[in-house]
Amino acid sequence: MYHVAILLYDGFDELDAVGPYEVFRTAAGFGADCDARLVTLDDRTTVTANHGMEVVVDGQLDPEASVSTDLIVVPGGGWSDAAKPGAGMEAKKGDIPGALAAFSEFGMTVAGVCTGGMLLARAGLLDGRPAVTHHSAISDLEDAGADVRDARFVDDGDVLTAGGVTSGIDLALHLVEREFGRDIAADVAREIEYDRREAASAAVDID
């Protein structure tokens, strides 16, 4: 079983998380041996997203994540104002970057959607590595030491990043194809009525 944990925090952008969640859950319906859970670092039942959506979470990210998790997806949202709930505030607090740095040592895959990539950068996971984030934070990503690419998403093996909001869907479909094959990814794209042609031409897959 390929276990996906989507790590939520107050102020995350709804589609950054829900898009990949739907892709992985739909893939499971087409036979992919995977699941997806909405998790937090702290013990709580709900999270308030950037546009006001209240999300009931499935639980906490397991401290023994190397056993229970294959992929952590980190959504973005609210990067520009660290005084408000969002990625900027989480970067300032440091709990999520610290956890990501620790979890990465277990050998799992970590993916950042939109400015969720900046939380990966704060964790030191993007130093010298190809990456992308939302256009509003590109200069911050460069300053953080990443090798910024002009791409819809970037696959660098155990670390992936996506440009923003809808590109999280592209990233998740790419991961479904990478882990479970082209046919299941095509079935999912068809089911959610998503055209992958533009995304495929604007992706960076590092060999």
pLDDT tens digits for range 4-14: 999 999 999 99
Distance separating alpha carbons of residues 54 and 184, to the nearest angstrom: 31
Domain with 30, as residue range(s), is: 2-205
Residue/partner pairs of 39-45 with CB below 8 Å, 24 or more apart: 39/5, 39/6, 39/7, 39/8, 40/7, 40/8, 40/9, 41/7, 41/9, 41/95, 41/96, 41/99
- pLDDT > 70 fraction of the chain, expressed in percent and rounded: 93
The reported pTM is: 0.94
pLDDT tens digits for range 125-172: 999 999 999 999 999 999 999 999 999 999 999 999 999 889 999 999
Q: How confident is the model at residue 105 (pLDDT cuts 50, 70, 90)?
A: confident
Number of domains in the chain: 1
pLDDT tens digits for range 16-71: 999 999 999 999 999 999 999 999 999 999 999 999 999 999 999 876 665 689 99
CATH number of the domain to which 19 belongs: 3.40.50.880
